[in-house]
Amino acid sequence: MANRFYVTTPIYYINDVPHLGSAYTTIAADVLARYHRLRGHETRFLTGVDEHGLKIQRVAAERGVAPHAFADEIAGRFRGTWPELSCSFDDFIRTTEARHKRAVQDLWRTIRDNHDKPQPNIYLGHYEGLYCVGCEGYYTEKELEQPGDVCPQHKKPVEMVKEESYFFRLSAYADDLLAFYESHPDFVQPAGRFNEVKSFVKAGLQDLSISRTTFQWGIPVPEDPRHVMYVWFDALTNYRSALLFPEDRERLWEGAVHLVGKDILRFHAVYWPAFLMAAGIAPPRHVFAHGFLTYNGQRMSKTLRNTVSPVALAQALSPKVGADVVRYSLMRAVAFGQDGDFSIHDVLQRYASELGDKLGNLLNRVLPFAKDRPPRGELGALERDLLAYYPAAVRVVTEAFDQTNPTAALNGIFGLLQRANEYIDRAAPWAAKKKGDRARLGVIVGTMLDLLEAVSVLIAPVMPAVAGEMRAQLGLPKLDWDALAEEPRALWPLEMPRRPEGLEVKGGEPIFPRFEKEREAEIVAQFTPRPAEDAGAAAAEPAPAAPVVTAPAKATISYEDFAKLDMRVGVVVSAERVKKKDKLLDLRVDTGDAAPRRLVAGIAKAYAPEAVVGKRVVVLCNLAPRDFGKGLVSEGMILAAEDANGLAALTVAEEKAAGSKVS
C-alpha cells in the first residue's frame, strides 16, 4: 500500500437531502480516511455535490427557483450535515464552481486533441435513444423492464431523446479497458462486481453521447457552447478538479480510491477509466462498490429517506457519541460490499451488547483499580499470553482496513476486546486487591491500560468521539486530527503502546449508559416510520415461502431476525480433504469478497473434493467463525439438506454471480 491515500465519495445529486444511504458512503470514506491518517499516510478525503443536468434543472423548475439558488441551498445542507456525523472531509466540491468548470473543459480539450487512435476521440453526431433522467443514463430497450420501457432502478418509464450530440468513441477503448482490468486485478472491488464490469465490456461497447442541446443547465462544451456536457462527464471529473485546483495535489492521484454504491459502478469502472485513458491519465487505483442498504427491511423510498435522518438518530442515541454509534452500527451491521439491512432494533442491540458490554465495560472494569496507581510488577503467564496475541490481532485489523473492509476490521477489534475481557475474568484484579498484592494488581492494571490505549486508537477511525472520551478517561492526550492532516505521523498501534509510569487516569461517566426501557421504546417509535408515512415505498421484501420440511418445527422468528442472515451464492474455488477428519472438506469459496473465504464443511462423505469445485452453493456468511482446531477456522457455513440417504449441498439452479444475495 503506497503512502498516499485519496478517498472520494460520489458527489450527491442535490434533488435529495443527505440521508442514510448517502451517509453510509460518506461515513465509510471518513473511516478509511481516518485510518490512513493514523497510519501516517498523506491522506485526502473529498466529497461534494453534483449540481448540473436535466434532473436538477427540472426539480428547480418544479419548485419555482433558479437552479443556482436551489443548488446553493442544498449544497449548504450537505456541507453542514457531514460534520454532524463526524465526517472530516478535506475538500468539498460543487460542480458549479469555477475550478471544476475549468478542469472539465480542460479534460474535454485534452481528449478531443489527443490523436492516439486512428479516429478522433470526440466527434459530432446525432443521438437517438432512451434516457432515464433519474439515473441520467442511457439505456437500450433490452436493459429496460417491460411493458412500458421502465428503468430498472427508478421504476419509471424512460424518455426518448433525439438531438445533435458529441460522442466519445468508447468503442475504441474496449480492448484497452480489458487489458487494464487484466493487469490490475483489484481495480474493482469486491471481485464479484468486477466480473460484472468485465462482462459488460466484453459484450461490446457503444460510443457514448457526451453532450446535450435541449437544455442549458450544464458546463458548455469548449468551442461549441450550443452544447452542454453530459452530466456524468462533468460529474466524474470532480475527482480530478479537486486535486488540481486551487492547489496542485496531483501527486495524490496514485492513491485514488473511489467509493461508490453498486448502482453507479459502470460509470466509474468503464466510462471514467476510458475518459482518463483517452486523456493520457492513469485510471484511479481502486473503485470500491458497496451494496445497498434497506432500513427495517424496507427499500429506502424517498419518504423513508426523509423521515429516518441519520443526524436525528445520532442525537437521539447520545448527545456525545451518538454519531459514533450510528457509524459503528452501519459499518458493523452490513458487510462492506454486500447489500444489507440497517434497523433500529439492531442499533439498540449493538449499543447495549457490543458497545456497552464489551467496549465500555472493559474501561469500567479497569479504571477503578487504576486510581491509586499500583506500580507494575512482573508479567505472569496470562499477561504474556495476551501480549503474544496482540500483534496478530492488530495485523488482522490493519489488513482489513487496507483491503477496504471496515466490517472485518471491527470484527477483529471486537475479537481483541473479547480476549481482553476474558483476560480480566482470569486475572481477577479484585482478588489481587483483596489480598493486598499491589505488585500483581499493578501488572494487571498496567497491561490493561496499555491495551485500552491501543484500543482507543484502533476504534478511532470508526468512533472518533468514543476514542476521544476513552483517552480523556485514561488520562491520555487527544488524537490531534488537524495536526495529522497537516503533517503525517504514524500513530497506529502495530505494537502495544507502553504507558509512562506515573501517568494518572482521570475516569468519568460510562460512555454507553443503559437506556431505560421507556426511552428505548421512544427511540424505536421515533425511527419506525408508520406505514402511512411510507406510502410511496415499495412493499417490504416478501418473506421467503416456508420450506417443506420433515424436520421438527421450530419457534417462529420475525422477518427482522431472518434479515440478519447474510446468505450468499458462493462458488467453490478449491477443496481439500482434512487429515484425520473424514467428514470434513476444507474449501475456499468466492462469496464476492475481496478474497475467497475459508469454509470447513461436513460434506466429505457426500462429495469428493474435485466434485464440489465450481459448484454454486449457498453460504451463511455471518455465522460466528467456528474453530475446528489446528488453525482450521470456518468463516461461515454451507447450507445442505439431509435425509436418510445422506447430505446434499444446496446449489443455485441458474448462474447467479458469486456474492449474490440469498433471501
The contact set with ligand MSP (CB under 6 A) reads 10-13, 16, 21-22, 24-25, 50, 235-236, 238, 260-261, 263-264, 292-293, 300
- Residue 582 CA to residue 262 CA, distance in Å, equals 41
| Per-residue buried b or exposed e for 425-443, using 16+ beta carbons within 10 Å of the residue's own CB | eebebeebbeeebbebbbb
CB 153 within 8 A of CB 134: yes
Q: Are 196 and 657 in contact (CB under 8 A)?
A: yes
Instruction: Report whether 7 contacts 44 (CB < 8 A).
Output: yes
Nearer to ligand MSP, 318 or 338 (CB): 338
Closest distance of CB 80 from ligand MSP, Å? 17
Report the nearest approach of ligand MSP to the CB of residue 300 (Å). Answer: 4
Q: Which residue has the cell 436535466?
A: 54
CB 505 within 8 A of CB 473: yes
Nearest distance in Å: CB 128, ligand MSP:
25
Contacts of 118 (CB under 8 A, 6+ apart): none
- For ligand MSP, give the closer residue by CB, 228 or 236: 236
Name 642's Cβ contacts closer than 8 Å, sequence gap at least 6.
648
Closest CB to ligand MSP among residues 60, 417? 60
Distance, in Å, from the CA atom of 591 to the CA atom of 616, rounded to the nearest integer, reads 10
**What percentage of the chain's residues is helix, strand, coil (to nearest 5)?**
45, 20, 35
Min dist CB 292 to ligand MSP, Å, is: 4
Taking the least distance from each CB to ligand MSP, the nearer of 260 and 465 is 260
Q: Which residue has the cell 449457498?
A: 618
Cα(461)–Cα(479) distance, integer angstroms: 11
Question: Contact at 8 Å (CB) between 567 and 663?
Answer: yes
- Shortest spacing between CB 102 and ligand MSP, in angstroms: 17
Smallest gap from residue 121 Cβ to ligand MSP (A)? 20
Q: CB–CB of 130/138 below 8 Å?
A: yes
Cβ-contact 586, 631 below 8 angstroms: no
Q: H or E stretch including 314? A: helix 310-317
Taking the least distance from each CB to ligand MSP, the nearer of 407 and 634 is: 407
Closer CB to ligand MSP, residue 267 or residue 512? 267
Provide, rounded to whole angstroms, the least separation between the CB of residue 73 and ligand MSP. 16
Rank residues 239 and 401 by Cβ distance to ligand MSP and give the closer one: 239
**Least spacing, CB of residue 612 vs ligand MSP, in Å:** 34
CA 544 distance to own-chain centroid? 27
Of the two residues 25 and 329, which places its CB atom closer to ligand MSP in the complex?
Answer: 25
Minimum separation from the CB atom of position 100 to ligand MSP (A): 11
Q: Strands, E, within 374-513: which ranges?
A: none
Q: List C-alpha distances in Å: 256 to 39, 280, 320, 376.
A: 17, 16, 33, 46
Inter-helix orientation angle 406-427/20-39, to 10°: 70
CB of 455 to ligand MSP, least distance (A): 29
Q: Cβ(83)–Cβ(94) under 8 Å?
A: no
Q: How far is the CB of 336 from ligand MSP (least distance, A)?
A: 11
Q: Which is nearer to ligand MSP, 55 or 616 (CB)?
A: 55
Residue closer to ligand MSP by CB (options 242, 264) is 264
Using the minimum distance from each CB to ligand MSP, give the nearer residue, 235 or 479: 235
Measured from the CB atom, the residue of 252 and 650 that comes closer to ligand MSP is: 252
Shortest approach of ligand MSP to residue 661 CB, angstroms? 13
* In the complex, least distance from residue 296 CB atom to ligand MSP, rounded to whole angstroms: 13
In what side-by-side order are the strands of the sheet with 137-139? 137-139, 122-132, 159-168, 208-209
Q: How far is CA 185 from CA 190, 197, 623, in A?
A: 11, 12, 29
- Judged by beta carbon, residue 238 or residue 398, the one nearer ligand MSP is 238
The grid coordinates listed for 611 are: 466434485
- Run of H or E including 168: strand 159-168
Q: Which is nearer to ligand MSP, 269 or 293 (CB)?
A: 293
Smallest gap from Cβ 261 to ligand MSP, in A, equals 3
Nearer to ligand MSP, 13 or 390 (CB): 13
Question: Smallest distance from the beta carbon of 222 to ligand MSP, in angstroms?
Answer: 20
Minimum CB distance to ligand MSP smaller for 288 or for 492: 288
Torsions phi, psi of 543, nearest 5? -70, 150
Other CB atoms within 10 A of residue 382 CB: 17
Alpha-carbon gap, residue 446 to 379, rounded angstroms: 10
Kindly state the smallest distance separating residue 265's Cβ from ligand MSP, in Å.
8
Q: Minimum distance from CB of 176 to ligand MSP (Å)?
A: 21
Contacts (Cβ under 8 Å, ≥6 apart) of 651: 615, 616, 617, 618
CB 65 within 8 A of CB 1: no
Closer residue to ligand MSP in complex, CB, 235/594: 235
Is 107:240 a contact under the CB 8 Å cutoff?
yes
Kindly state the helix (H) or strand (E) to which residue 233 belongs, with its residue range. Answer: helix 231-236
Question: What's the CA gap between 642 and 645, in Å, rounded?
Answer: 7
Q: Which of 597, 649, 655, 588 is nearest to 621 (CA)?
A: 597
* Distance between CA atoms of residues 629 and 580, nearest Å: 12
